[in-house]
């Protein structure tokens, strides 16, 4: 499969910073896959998300070496067209608000209006995005009167409504309750079925284990590991670099420490069920 987004030897420093926030990043992201970006606070998740969205060096400035390619072309070449290609949800959803709209409905419609989409098409798309993110009942509320979780879902709706090929979500569930977190991951699953590429920075490894295809693990601005999510999420070093493994992995780690023979640590509920079934009901070999 060809990479839809690619980082080649990227090293990036914010303005006036002596040490780079990202160092020697090489990534090939394939179309139709869901990528989870993991890392402790300050490891560079937001910086990587911003870089993949093409915010450096134009928006954040600073110094950058290497290149980011979108569909094989340098990302800088896309200019204003980039907004059609990549949807983005900021870590702080307040940042996403246009500040010029008086209702949630208008806020979600704002991006499409800017693209010159006809009004009838806008209405249908906005209603759909609001339904998907469970904010239809907020349609007439002022965006500044929203709770953190409502704001976060509005930000997600604003990104979804434009139907981009790529979505970059920077901790989109940080302020959501378990039900809404689950809802967001179900949306991600549906988008994957539509062959969208999704990049999600997230601390909640239980959800990452269940829903992503591959993981990019950052530590102090470098790629510590990338690829197979089960291998990465069951790595015993995970906690040492500031990441809480999935609950089921922790449980099985404890069981293993107390002498129960679990060879491969599971990271999902399905894997855990298989592991426990094998322990509880070992196959009796026929003579
Ligand atoms: N605008 C900025 N100017 C200067 N340094 C910055 C800026 N934004 C981030 N940094 C620095 O870059 C490094 C990576 O920060 P980043 O926000 O990407 O981390 P993160 O993994 O997203 O953390 P968190 O989990 O807290 O969101 C940190 O050392 C941070 O202090
Ligand atoms: Mg961040």
CA nearest 86: which of 27, 159, 1? 159
Burial group, residue 250, by CB count within 10 angstroms (0-12, 13-18, 19+)? middle
> In the predicted model, what is the mean pLDDT of the chain?
93
Task: Select from 45, 63, 64, 208 the residue to mutate for testing ligand 1; criterion: most ligand atoms less than 8 Å from CB.
Answer: 45
Higher pLDDT, 108 or 57: 108
Give per-residue pLDDT as tens, 2-52: 799 999 999 999 999 989 999 999 999 999 999 999 999 999 999 999 999
pLDDT one-digit tens code per residue, 138-174: 999 999 999 999 999 999 999 999 999 999 999 999 9
> Could you tell which of 15, 19, 20, 21 is best to mutate to test the pocket of ligand 1, judged by most ligand atoms within 8 Å of the CB?
21
- To the nearest 10 degrees (0 to 180), the angle between helices 148-160 and 178-193 is 10
Question: What pLDDT, on a 0 to 100 scale, did the predictor assign at position 261?
Answer: 93
Atom of ligand 1 nearest to the CA of 171: 27
In whole angstroms, give the CA distance from residue 199 to residue 215.
10
- Ligand at shortest distance from the CA of 23: 1
- How confident is residue 241, by pLDDT bands cut at 50, 70 and 90? very high
Whose C-alpha lies nearest to ligand 1, atom 16? 44
Q: Which domains does the chain have, with CATH numbers?
A: 3-245 (3.40.50.300), 246-287 (no CATH)
Pairing of strands 73-74, 63-70: antiparallel
Confidence tier at 287 by pLDDT (50, 70, 90) = low
């Amino acid at each position: 499969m060809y990479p839809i987004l690619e980082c080649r030897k990227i090293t990036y420093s914010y303005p006036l910073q002596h040490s780079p926030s990202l160092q020697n990043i090489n990534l090939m992201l394939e179309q139709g896959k869901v990528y989870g970006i993991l890392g402790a606070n300050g490891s560079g998740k937001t910086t990587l998300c911003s870089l993949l969205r093409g915010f450096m060096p134009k928006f954040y400035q600073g110094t950058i070496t290497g290149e980011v390619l979108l569909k094989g072309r340098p990302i800088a070449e896309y200019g204003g067209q980039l907004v059609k290609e990549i949807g983005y949800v900021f870590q702080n959803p307040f940042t996403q608000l246009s500040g010029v709209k008086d209702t949630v409905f208008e806020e979600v419609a704002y991006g499409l209006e800017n693209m010159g989409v006809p009004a009838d098409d806008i209405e249908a798309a906005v209603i759909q995005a609001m339904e998907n993110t469970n904010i239809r009942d907020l349609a007439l509320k002022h965006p500044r009167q929203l709770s953190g979780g409502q704001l976060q879902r509005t930000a997600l709706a604003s990104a979804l409504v434009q139907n981009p090929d790529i979505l970059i979500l920077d901790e989109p569930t940080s302020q959501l309750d378990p039900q809404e977190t689950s809802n967001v991951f179900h949306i991600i699953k549906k988008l994957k079925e539509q062959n969208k590429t999704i990049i999600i920075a997230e601390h909640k490894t239980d959800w990452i284990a269940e829903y992503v295809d591959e993981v990019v693990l950052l530590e102090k601005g470098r790629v510590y590991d990338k690829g197979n999510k089960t291998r990465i999420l069951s790595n015993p070093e995970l906690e040492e670099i500031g990441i809480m493994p999935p609950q089921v992995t922790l449980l099985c780690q404890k069981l293993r420490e107390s002498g129960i023979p679990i060879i491969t640590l599971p990271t999902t509920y399905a894997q855990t069920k298989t592991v426990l079934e094998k322990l509880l009901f070992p196959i009796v070999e026929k003579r």
